[in-house]
Structure 1
Amino acid sequence: MPWFVKIESGKIDKIIFDQYVPAHKAFVQDLIAKGHKAKTGYWAKMGGGMLLFEAASLDEAQAIISQDPLVKNGCVDYQLHEWKIVVE
């Protein structure tokens, strides 16, 4: 299955953003349970973060991302890319 990456930057105050982090973590746990091998995290020195996951197609990846609480609640701007792994 192809890998996809959502690269994001926050666009709201951290106090509001942080209210949606537990729901985002639950969303990622659900992706893992469904077999998408998701990983999520944030940049140590600059704002924003990344979600890495498997999906059958770009359309499925976009549908998945549309359900992310950080996206649904307007917390982030993001780019979605298919990631071509060269070495595993």
Structure 2
Amino acid sequence: MKYFAVFLPMKDAQKSKDFRGEHLDFLSKKRTEGTILMNGRFVDGAGGLVIYRGDSLEEVEKLVNTDPYIVNGARDYEIHEWEMESDYNF
């Protein structure tokens, strides 16, 4: 299983407000299914970040394209495969 960081930069602030509930429901469902590891918004209002789990970039991109924010033009997206470190030495 691979991890993918998906940035969701703001495209339309009003649409983001309008579709926030649907977007949050989508994220909750995907977290329950184990497809999303974590998610959150940027406090400066620039958008958000979602960490997906998947076998390939193509698989994750298909999921991202079903997010109500993307479907309704509220946000753009940018996907990067992410190598999660499990052992930190501080």
TM-score (norm 2): 0.85
Match of 1:6 in 2: 6
Match of 1:59 in 2: 58
Summarize the Cα distance change of 1:37–1:75 in structure 2 as closer, same or farther, 3 Å threshold: closer
Deviations 1:22-76 (A, max 9, x none): 1011111111222224322111124111111211211110111010000000111
Question: How many pairs does the alignment contain?
Answer: 87
Mind listing any 5+ residue stretches in structure 1 that lack a counterpart?
A: none
- Answer whether contact 1:28 1:38 (CA < 8 A) is retained: no
Amino acid aligned to 1:34? E
- Answer whether contact 2:36 2:50 (CA < 8 A) is retained: no
Give the RMSD, CA atoms, in angstroms.
Answer: 1.5
Summarize the Cα distance change of 1:46–1:30 in structure 2 as closer, same or farther, 3 Å threshold: closer
Match of 1:22 in 2: 21
Shift of 1:11: 1.3
Match of 1:80 in 2: 79
Matched residue SS, 2:15 = helix
Matched residue SS, 2:76 = strand
Amino acid aligned to 1:82? E
Whole-angstrom distance in 2 between the partners of 1:15 and 1:74? 10
Runs of 4+ in 1 over 4 A off after TM superposition: none
TM-score (norm 1): 0.86
Matched residue SS, 2:40 = strand
